[in-house]
């Protein structure tokens, strides 16, 4: 297994998304998913303080709490890399220095740990000077509470601005960026943040790498999305062009002996720069659909086919 360097951390080439934990996966199911991911060598888990505040009865932090309980009960903290985020939780909004400091303490408590491996600004906050945000994150790194900094949902220009401010002031420079990117959502990333991420040598960790489940191949008609908890947002993909793409992906998947989802992840890993896709599952039985995506290599012809099909989408 070839691991990827993330700020010097040697991580599995696929990041497990903790978004379903406390939402579509209860604590017991989440533990089973985490156990299975760890068993195949997975060591990078992504979450956020806002996961999963949208579920009725939740207040946010449920995913962090489950991950923290799992690491403590399994005694795997030293071999597990955890990424979490600040800015979107209603009770801890934005990127002011005071909010970052308090939100970090909340996340540390829920994660049952004294350090966070990768701490993201979950979204840009233009109401706060970027220097204030960068210095606040740097303070956490200097205090040993955070190992590395990441940015999420930042434009290319704002990524560059943050890196410049941090570099000029001797503060912690981001090592990773998490933006929306997959084989059916290409244009914005590839013309904006993607080239900047690659130029600056940052690691890209795309979210929605499976397009809300569309790139698993399970949606073959509009009717297939009816009643699915996680199908919000797939409607725009349920077109003739979208289904032609899935047909092409299925043929490639068959030649590799894997599922369609793994082809979507392998495509992301092949993009310019260093890319570690984020993918989540709600059941242990879904893990085998994505794990091969961490290792398989697509041929030039296969990449050309996918690029052509996705460009007509």
Question: CB under 8 Å, gap of 24 or more: what pairs does 162-166 form?
Answer: 162/130, 162/133, 162/134, 163/200, 165/130, 165/131, 165/134, 166/134, 166/138
* 91 CB burial (10 A radius; 0-12, 13-18, 19+): middle
Segment (H or E) for 134:
helix 130-142
- Of 51, 120, 189, 207, the active-site residue reads 51
* 246 CB burial (10 A radius; 0-12, 13-18, 19+): buried
51 is catalytic: yes
> What is the Cβ-side half-sphere exposure of residue 97, based on CA atoms within 13 angstroms?
9
Residue (of 212, 173, 174, 186) closest to 270 by Cα position: 186
**What are the residue numbers of the active site?**
51
């Amino acid at each position: 297994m070839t691991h990827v360097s993330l700020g010097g951390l040697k991580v599995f080439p696929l990041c497990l998304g903790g978004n379903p934990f406390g939402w579509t996966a209860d604590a017991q199911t989440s533990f089973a998913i985490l156990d299975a991911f760890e068993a195949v060598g997975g060591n990078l888990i992504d979450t956020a303080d806002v996961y999963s505040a949208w579920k009725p009865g939740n207040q946010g932090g449920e995913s962090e709490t489950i991950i923290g309980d799992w690491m403590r009960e399994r005694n795997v903290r030293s071999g597990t890399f955890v990424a979490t985020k600040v800015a979107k939780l209603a009770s801890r909004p934005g990127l002011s220095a005071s909010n970052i400091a308090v939100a970090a303490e909340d996340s540390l408590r829920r994660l049952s740990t004294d350090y966070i491996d990768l701490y993201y600004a979950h979204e840009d906050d233009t109401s706060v000077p970027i220097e204030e945000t960068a210095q606040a994150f740097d303070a956490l790194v200097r205090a040993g509470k955070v190992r590395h900094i990441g940015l999420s949902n930042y434009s290319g220009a704002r990524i560059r601005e943050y890196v410049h401010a941090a570099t000029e002031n001797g503060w912690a420079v981001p090592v990773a960026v998490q933006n929306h990117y997959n084989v059916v959502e290409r244009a914005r990333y590839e013309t904006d943040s993607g080239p900047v991420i690659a130029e600056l040598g940052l690691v890209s960790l795309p979210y929605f790498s499976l397009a809300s489940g569309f790139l698993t191949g399970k949606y073959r008609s509009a009717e297939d999305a009816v009643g699915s908890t996680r199908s919000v947002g797939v409607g725009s993909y349920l077109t003739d062009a979208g289904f032609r793409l899935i047909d092409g992906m299925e043929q490639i998947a068959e030649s590799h002996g894997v599922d369609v989802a793994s082809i979507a992840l392998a495509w992301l890993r092949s993009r310019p720069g260093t890319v570690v896709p984020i993918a989540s599952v709600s059941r242990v039985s879904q893990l085998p659909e994505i794990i091969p995506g961490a290792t398989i290599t697509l041929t030039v012809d296969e990449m050309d086919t996918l690029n052509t099909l996705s460009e007509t989408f």
